[in-house]
Amino acid sequence: MPRVESVFRVKLPIRAVWSFMSDRNEVGCLFPGCKGVKIIDELDALWKVRVTFGPFARIVDLKTHTTVFKEFEQLSWIGSGGDIHMSGDVMLKRISDDVTEVVYHLEGHVTGPFAMLQDIVVAEKLREVKKKFIKNIKDELEWQLEEGVEKK
């Protein structure tokens, strides 16, 4: 299963970063191609995502399930929809009172005919999605800092 990782730091307390990262609606709107997140319960959600591979595009309903929820430390999830299966996690580390390190992992896999070849395309797509998603998250967190949003 192709996997990508990103490690970055933000100049916000761990509580503020956790508050943002654990809110599926907040984070969902920043995920590239996400058209909406419907919260089912405290562990499950349905994400509507526009997935593109080259000239091909389709809307996929991804059912996600939170597998780990350790406050101020780790969020992990799995998800699937159609032929797409994914998992990921976010791990936070307090560097100082006002700096938090974020480690983000995302894995994706396509099943069906030619899955091996599709995984090559998925690996490239994951790198692209990760880059955009992390930029969106950092921009949003930095905006909160600039706007003086309450540091929790």
Domain with 114 in it: what CATH number? 3.30.530.20
List the domain range (segments joined by +) for residue 119: 3-147
- Structural domains in the chain (count): 1
Q: What is the pLDDT of residues 11-33, one digit of tens each?
A: 999 999 999 999 998 898 888 88
Cα atoms found within 13 Å of the Cα of residue 15, Cβ hemisphere only: 5
**Residue 77 in domain:** yes
d(CA 121, CA 118): 5
Q: What is the pLDDT of residues 89-135, one digit of tens each?
A: 999 999 999 999 999 999 988 787 656 656 666 777 788 888 888 88
**Residue 152 in domain:** no
pLDDT confidence bin for 152, thresholds 50/70/90: very low
d(CA 33, CA 129): 9
**Residue 104 in domain:** yes
* The pair of three-digit structure tokens given for residue 145, joined into one six-digit string: 């800092």
**Residue 45 in domain:** yes
